[in-house]
Amino acid sequence: MKVEVIKFDNSGRGIGYLNDKIIFIPKTVPGDIVDVEIVLEKKNYLEGRLVEVITPSKLRQKPICPYFNECGGCDLMHISLSESLEYKLNKVNDILKRNKIDYEVTKIIKSECPYNYRDKVTFKIVDGKIGFFQTDTHKLVEINYCYLCKDAINNVIKDIHTLNIKNGEVIIRCNYNDELLLSLNTQDKIDNIETLINEHKIVGIVNNDKCIYGEDYFIDKINDYLFKVSYNSFFQVNPYICSELFKLIEKYTDKSNNVLDLYCGVGTLSIVASMNAKNVLGVEINSNAIIDANLNKTLNKRNNVDFICEDTKNILNKITSDFDTIILDPPRSGVVQKVLNKIMEVNPDKIIYVSCDPNTLARDLKLLEEKYIISNFKLLDMFPETEHNESIVVLEKK
Ligand SMILES: C[S@@+](CC[C@H](N)C(=O)[O-])C[C@H]1O[C@@H](n2cnc3c(N)ncnc32)[C@H](O)[C@@H]1O
């Protein structure tokens, strides 16, 4: 069925109309005329799959990756990098507008490397083949190279089959020194790790949460900071943008005394903020990440940082007026309302909100707006070629 794509939605899909119903079509570009197959029919909308581009949009470019059309990993490789940056700015401004937040973001910080930036990736293994799933399916797209991943990750893909995994997944992490940490999730017997160890800089292999070779962590380095990162701790996936994020945290905490860093992971932002602040307290739910955070405190010679392993919603009594700056870097779901209410009650001078989901960010900003004004809002292109981005927002007390 023929559809003309008129604009992007906020998930990087093209939007058109078919029989007066809105239709969302991934991997299409405004201005394209496309042949589409309907994959989902709902009362108010349709979802389509691109069959063929009949007339390409002027914005369309040939994706560098041969797997782009089937693979669920990237969304925007079919437009130029500058178009994708403009899309991300427009998208975030649209979300702010829909949430009635009167602020226009004008700046997006580019990733020094738009390709080969990812230092962590999860590959699926199905019937001995390695790749990614197609969007919203469990159909494997077999690959031997991913343009988003660092080269040390790409080099190891061809040898993963030597592990003899038939079904499962492999999570590969790579540090500043191109060392690799592998985490396998499979019921299959791993009977040969020698090839991988001999051919690649593998520092550790973990299988179903049990270390079967080397260590279950590695040391990563961003700017001059060193971080122990366990196989299952969160760490930002784009070291180039992570470096920019750290510089902004240093800048925004330069007049802070006491900083509370909620959702602190392995202590990254706490440690960066502690360079300026008198004292920092980090809170994180993952106990392995807190073990890493305490070691990172020593690695970076910081004695003005402390960490607590807790769910943020259970430490409301620790959110006090002693803190003049609160850093929030929650998962995609955003900050729970109970915690936001407590922050509003304590009313610190400054809140620095780091977010990877503009929808939950806007929801939370709407609540904070009662007592705060946005003094700075920057987008960071943490995930080039995908529809995602990172935001850092500074809120000052009214
Ligand atoms: C986006 S990461 C940020 C980590 C860190 N700020 C960084 O930049 O590396 C979010 C972190 O919040 C933690 N987390 C998720 N839910 C939490 C909760 N309810 N209470 C405390 N931490 C939580 C996750 O384990 C994860 O480490």
Q: Is 291 helix (H, G, I), strand (E, B) or coil?
A: helix
Residue-level pLDDT at 136: 75
Tokens matching residue 242: 């992570």
Q: Ligand 1 in contact with 265 (CB < 6 A)?
A: yes
Q: Ligand 1 in contact with 160 (CB < 6 A)?
A: no
**Closest residue to atom 18 of ligand 1, CA basis:** 311
Where in the chain do CATH 2.40.50.140 domains reside?
A: 2-60
Nearest to 57 by CA among 18, 16, 17: 16
| Other CB atoms within 10 Å distance of the CB of residue 186 | 17
**Closest residue to atom 15 of ligand 1, CA basis:** 331
Residue-level pLDDT at 72: 87
Using a cut of 0.85, tell me whether the model's pTM lies above it: yes
Q: Is the distance from CB of 260 to CB of 326 less than 8 angstroms?
A: yes
Q: Ligand 1 in contact with 235 (CB < 6 A)?
A: yes
Any bridge partners for residue 113, and if so which? none
Alpha-carbon span 169 to 122, nearest angstrom: 7
Q: Ligand 1 in contact with 285 (CB < 6 A)?
A: yes
Eight-class DSSP state of 134: P
Q: Which mutation among 227, 246, 263 tests ligand 1's pocket best, with the greatest number of atoms within 8 A of CB?
A: 263
- Please return the burial class of 197, using the count of CB atoms within 10 Å of its CB with bins 0-12, 13-18 and 19+: middle
Measured in Å, residue 143 CA sits from the centre of ligand 1 at: 31
**Closest residue to atom 6 of ligand 1, CA basis:** 264
Residue-level pLDDT at 251: 97
**Any idea which fold 120-219 has?**
OB fold (Dihydrolipoamide Acetyltransferase, E2P) (2.40.50)
Tokens matching residue 273: 């903020």
Kindly give the parts of the chain with pLDDT less than 50: none
Q: Ligand 1 in contact with 276 (CB < 6 A)?
A: no
Alpha-carbon span 309 to 317, nearest angstrom: 15
Nearest to 46 by CA among 106, 1, 113, 77: 1
Q: Is the distance from CB of 273 to CB of 293 less than 8 angstroms?
A: no
Q: Ligand 1 in contact with 372 (CB < 6 A)?
A: no
Q: Ligand 1 in contact with 117 (CB < 6 A)?
A: no
**Closest residue to atom 17 of ligand 1, CA basis:** 285
Measured in Å, residue 30 CA sits from the centre of ligand 1 at: 36
Q: Ligand 1 in contact with 241 (CB < 6 A)?
A: no
Eight-class DSSP state of 118: B
Measured in Å, residue 335 CA sits from the centre of ligand 1 at: 10
Measured in Å, residue 231 CA sits from the centre of ligand 1 at: 15
Alpha-carbon span 150 to 116, nearest angstrom: 4
Q: For 251-279, how does the pLDDT look when each residue is reduced to its tens digit (9 = 90+)? A: 999 998 999 999 999 999 999 999 999 99
Measured in Å, residue 331 CA sits from the centre of ligand 1 at: 6
Measured in Å, residue 286 CA sits from the centre of ligand 1 at: 8
| Strand arrangement of the beta sheet that strand 305-309 belongs to | 108-109, 372-380, 390-397, 350-355, 325-328, 258-262, 279-284, 305-309
Q: Which CATH class is domain 90-112+238-397?
A: alpha beta
Q: Is the dihedral of CA 304, 307, 311, 316 positive or negative?
A: negative
Measured in Å, residue 330 CA sits from the centre of ligand 1 at: 5
Alpha-carbon span 236 to 240, nearest angstrom: 10
Q: Ligand 1 in contact with 272 (CB < 6 A)?
A: no
Measured in Å, residue 311 CA sits from the centre of ligand 1 at: 9
The helix (run of H) or strand (run of E) holding residue 326 is strand 325-328
Q: Ligand 1 in contact with 282 (CB < 6 A)?
A: no
Where in the chain do CATH 3.40.50.150 domains reside?
A: 90-112+238-397
Q: Ligand 1 in contact with 386 (CB < 6 A)?
A: no
Q: Which CATH class is domain 2-60?
A: mainly beta
Measured in Å, residue 232 CA sits from the centre of ligand 1 at: 12
